[in-house]
Structure 1
Amino acid sequence: MNVLKGIISEIQSHEGISLVKVKSNDFIFSSIVLDTPDTADYLKQNKAVKIIFKETEVIVSKDLNLKISVQNQIPCLVKSLKKGILLTQINLLADRQIIQSIITTNACEQLNLKENDHVIALVKTNEVSLSADD
């Protein structure tokens, strides 16, 4: 599980749902939360939170100029690869933080991923969870 620290920078709420922007180092994550500042104490601007998302939800692209709907597009450097028969674990360095991705080994080979490659890590907004940073 990827767990990063961040600070809430913006909250937009409507009908019990919030779109929350969280600054983590130099990157802004977007997350959809089924709460509002009225229903969850941790949803306050400038509040420290944990940003949580599964390794299997991190998509990797070598195309650095994507025009797609995925909001969380994190520039990274491939730090290491651990190839298995079916799956490959990739450690990505993003602004002094490690993000882990697990993709199929077939996809890793199709992308010809190697250490020190520049890539974009993609995480859909609805796959990013937030929790209070206690």
Structure 2
Amino acid sequence: MNVLKGIITEIQSHEGISLVKVKSHDFVFSSIVLDTPDTADYLKENKAVKVIFKETEVIISKDLNPKISVQNQIAYVVKSVKKGILLSQINLIADKLEIQSIITSNACEQLDLKENDNVIALIKTNEVSLSADD
């Protein structure tokens, strides 16, 4: 599980749902939350939270400027690749922000992923969870 610390920078709410922006290092994540500042104490601007998403939800692209609807697009460098028979673990780093991606080994081979490759990590807004940073 990828768990990053961040600060809430913006909240837009409508009909019990909130679109929350969270800054972690130099990147701003978008997350959809089924709560509002009225129903969840941790949903306040400038509040510290944890940004959480599964490794299996991190999509890797070698196209450094994809025109797609995924809002969370972060430029990374491949730190390491651990190839397995079915799945591969890709460790990514951008400054001090490190995350992991787990993709099929077939996809890893098709992308020809290697250490020091420049890639974009993509995480759909609805796959990013938030929790209070206790």
Structure 1 segments unaligned to the other structure (5+ residues):
none
2:31 corresponds to 1:6: no
Match of 1:127 in 2: 127
2:49 corresponds to 1:52: no
TM-score normalised per structure 1: 0.99
2:95 corresponds to 1:95: yes
Q: Distance in 1 between matches of 2:4 and 2:94?
A: 11
Amino acid at match of 2:41: D
RMSD: 0.5
Task: Report deviation, 1:58.
Answer: 0.2
Q: Which runs of 4+ in 1 moved over 6 A?
A: none
SS in 2 for 1:69: coil
Task: Report deviation, 1:98.
Answer: 1.1
Match of 1:41 in 2: 41
Q: Distance in 2 between matches of 1:94 and 1:43?
A: 27
Match of 1:22 in 2: 22
Q: Distance in 1 between matches of 2:118 and 2:49?
A: 28
Q: Which string of whole-angstrom CA distances, capped at 9 and with x for unpartnered residues, describes residues 61-96 of structure 1?
A: 000011110000010000001000000001000231
SS in 2 for 1:110: helix
Amino acid at match of 2:106: N
Amino acid at match of 1:60: I
Structure 2 segments unaligned to the other structure (5+ residues):
none
Q: Which string of whole-angstrom CA distances, capped at 9 and with x for unpartnered residues, describes residues 111-130 of structure 1?
A: 00000000000000000000
Q: Distance in 1 between matches of 2:78 and 2:48?
A: 28
Q: Distance in 2 between matches of 1:59 and 1:71?
A: 12
TM-score normalised per structure 2: 0.99
Paired-residue identity, %: 85
Match of 1:75 in 2: 75
Q: Distance in 2 between matches of 1:83 and 1:61?
A: 17
Q: Distance in 2 between matches of 1:41 and 1:48?
A: 12
Number of residues of Structure 1 aligned to a counterpart in Structure 2: 134
